Amino acid sequence: MNAIIAVCHFCELHGPRIVYCTQSFHPQEHRAVDDEDALSDVSAGHLHNRSKAIRHGSFSSTDSAAVTSMKTDLCEGCYSVKTGFVSHDDEVPISYVSSQHPHHPKVFSMVRQACLRSLSCEVCPGREGPIFFGDKQQGNVLSYTFYIQDNQARGFKRWYSIIIVMMDKLYLLNSWSFLVPNLQLVIKQLQMKAEKVYTEEQTRCPQKGYRDSIYPASFRFQRGGNKPARSLKELTDDKHIFKMLHVSFVWILKACVNRITETSLEAPPTEDAILDTERLEETEEGFIKLYMRKSSPDKENPDIDSMDADPDQPRFYNLQNVMQVLGYLNFHTVAHHIVIGNQLIVKGAEKQLVKSMLEVLKGLLPKGCCKIIPYSEKYEESWRCNFLGVPLGVLLPNHILNSEQFLLIEILSPEEGPQDLNSYEFKISSHVILPDKAPKVLIRMELALRNTNLCYEVIEQCLICLKEEWMNKVKVLFKFTKAGGSRSEDDMKKLLQVVGAKEEDKQLLKFWMTGLSVQYRNHILSTSMNMNMVPP
């Protein structure tokens, strides 16, 4: 919280004056500060959320050059702070300093301007109470104006204000509900102390009738020597009043930060997030599996069974790793088969390597499109899984060998034993000739994977965004086809043009449609049914 709190009063001789102020400093802020950043840097109050006891101390406020030069020109009411106070938060490197004036010239100018406005032109109905004013140049101000009873003041009242100055307008306004009640507590303490002194003085020497009979010109000299105003210590008869204000202001600065925490606003859940939730709700086993996956120390491939993982065995870690080992053209072929829904079969003698390859490659698809059997002793049909790992000796059925909807990768170990991934041989075979034009989303994925200037964490987030973008197109297509009514081929072409897809993307869109969550499917189907039931 980049703020400074100050107590101001209206002197009948000198006008509005700053009496006392509290601000916070970070250790690095003892260096020189640019004028433009003076309030946000020098008076910064951004605190850690954890609280801890704060050590308090004091110092001579006469060290301030501004105070030294002004004290000879001001009365006792304007210059009543002889001792400043400092508090150190040991857990958070912040110190809170209270003195008569801010030490930085730019901050002093801003607080001085706020003081003048709070006790002159900026008033609320009834004069007492909180008010907001300010601008980008002079800062934003929450000012709470109040009076303190004084037996020797004109009208028996002396006007004061507590101002909070900061540059962040939204933060100040959002903190209004916290700051105003706490300022009221501080003000109430001051007024109670002053009222007690006022009552005692009136009991000892009633002066109201006498004052009403004197002339205004000689009033100032009749009320107590040549004092234009009495100090806050004298008005409250509390020699520790400024120490009390210091502690109160420090607490307000610290607590105001703790009550407002910065949070990121999340968008509606993605399809992958909805699918995770649906799978959790299906079985208790699903919950245990997801928990184990999230708590796995393997960040890149958390689904790999860690019980049979050998750190000395080669394995794939991410899609960039697969592209480097297979080569770009082979990777493009494999990825093209995957994104359009063909079954990927990986044969290999080393279970960990096969499983790691499947786990990495499924990152090309939305979660709802992934049905994986990491390692099976027999062939599993494509309706059961589109990612299948098997040992080298497993024979594929004839109908699969003659099909165009599968891709086979055989991982052959080097004769001299496993060394690194480049020492293995990868044989890729398929009976289908892929079209020359690949789906647009695959091209964009490959561009991201080939960018060597990005770390993989950034690339991974890029792939997530691309998949979600195209899942949104799939949702439009699903709604278009299931919302009732006949759809012509021309209508489909127009829809593809609207969503930014082309003919080469149709097969991908149809396959990715199978990955939509049950929640979204049911919502669209129920909406379509209700629409069809409405009479014309």
Q: Which tokens in the block code for residue 483?
A: 């919302």
Amino acid at 113: Q
pLDDT in tens, 42-64: 333 333 333 345 766 666 655 44
| CA–CA dist 317, 228 (Å, integer) | 80
Q: Which span out of 308-317, 366-375, 526-535 was modeled with the highest average pLDDT? A: 366-375
Q: Which tokens in the block code for residue 462?
A: 């890029």
| CA–CA dist 231, 201 (Å, integer) | 16
Helix (H, G, I), strand (E, B) or coil at 65: helix
| CA–CA dist 75, 487 (Å, integer) | 89
DSSP for 137-159, written as a single string: TTEEEEEEEEEEE-TTSGGGEEE
The average pLDDT across 131-135 equals 90
| Structure letter (DSSP) for residue 534 | S
SS3 content of the chain, % helix, strand, coil (to 5): 45, 15, 35
| CA–CA dist 111, 141 (Å, integer) | 9
Tokens 């900061």 belong to residue: 166
**263: CB partners within 8 A, 6+ apart:** none
pLDDT value of residue 41: 40
Judged against a pLDDT cut of 90, whether residue 88 lies above it is answered with: no
Helix (H, G, I), strand (E, B) or coil at 127: coil
Judged against a pLDDT cut of 80, whether residue 221 lies above it is answered with: no
Phi, psi of 304 (to 5 degrees): -70, 135
| CA–CA dist 57, 38 (Å, integer) | 25
The average pLDDT across 133-158 equals 88
Work out the end-to-end distance of the chain between its first and last CA atoms, rounded to an integer number of angstroms.
60
Judged against a pLDDT cut of 50, whether residue 225 lies above it is answered with: no
The average pLDDT across 184-201 equals 92
Better pLDDT: 359 or 35: 359
Q: Which tokens in the block code for residue 463?
A: 């792939």
Going by C-alpha positions, the residue among 120, 150, 117 that lies closest to residue 134 is: 117
pLDDT value of residue 259: 78
Tokens 């991908």 belong to residue: 508
pLDDT value of residue 265: 56
Better pLDDT: 50 or 103: 103
Helix (H, G, I), strand (E, B) or coil at 15: strand
pLDDT value of residue 522: 84
* Contact (CB, 8 A) for 343 and 382: yes
Pairing of strands 129-135, 139-149: antiparallel
DSSP for 220-283, written as a single string: HHHTTTT-SS--HHHHHT-TTHHHHHHHHHHHHHHHHHHH----PPP-SPPHHHHHHHHHHHH-
pLDDT value of residue 156: 84
Judged against a pLDDT cut of 50, whether residue 471 lies above it is answered with: yes
β-bridge partners, 346: 389, 409
pLDDT value of residue 60: 60
pLDDT value of residue 2: 76
| CA–CA dist 189, 243 (Å, integer) | 13
| CA–CA dist 411, 429 (Å, integer) | 12
Phi, psi of 508 (to 5 degrees): -65, -45
The average pLDDT across 10-39 equals 68
Judged against a pLDDT cut of 80, whether residue 185 lies above it is answered with: yes
The alpha helices in 38-175, defined as continuous H runs, are: 38-42, 65-70, 105-118, 169-174
Chain mean pLDDT for the chain: 79
pLDDT in tens, 485-512: 567 788 888 888 988 999 999 999 999 9
The average pLDDT across 272-283 equals 69
**20: CB partners within 8 A, 6+ apart:** 6, 7, 81, 98, 99, 100, 232, 242, 245
Q: Using 50, 70 and 90 to split pLDDT, how confident is the model at 117?
A: very high
Phi, psi of 378 (to 5 degrees): -145, 165
β-bridge partners, 86: 57, 97
pLDDT value of residue 381: 92
Helix (H, G, I), strand (E, B) or coil at 497: helix
Q: Which tokens in the block code for residue 278?
A: 């649906």
Q: Using 50, 70 and 90 to split pLDDT, how confident is the model at 484?
A: low
* Contact (CB, 8 A) for 405 and 345: no
Judged against a pLDDT cut of 70, whether residue 99 lies above it is answered with: yes
Q: Which tokens in the block code for residue 188?
A: 């109430």
Q: What percent of the chain lies above the pLDDT cut of 90?
A: 39
CA atoms within 13 A of residue 34's CA, in its CB half-sphere: 3
pLDDT value of residue 441: 94
pLDDT value of residue 33: 39
The average pLDDT across 199-204 equals 85
CA angle 111–112–115, rounded 5-degree value: 85
| CA–CA dist 175, 188 (Å, integer) | 20
Helix (H, G, I), strand (E, B) or coil at 346: strand
CA angle 432–301–276, rounded 5-degree value: 85
pLDDT value of residue 203: 84
Domains in the chain with CATH codes:
3-27+77-204+229-258 (no CATH), 319-434 (3.40.50.12430), 456-532 (no CATH)
pLDDT value of residue 267: 60
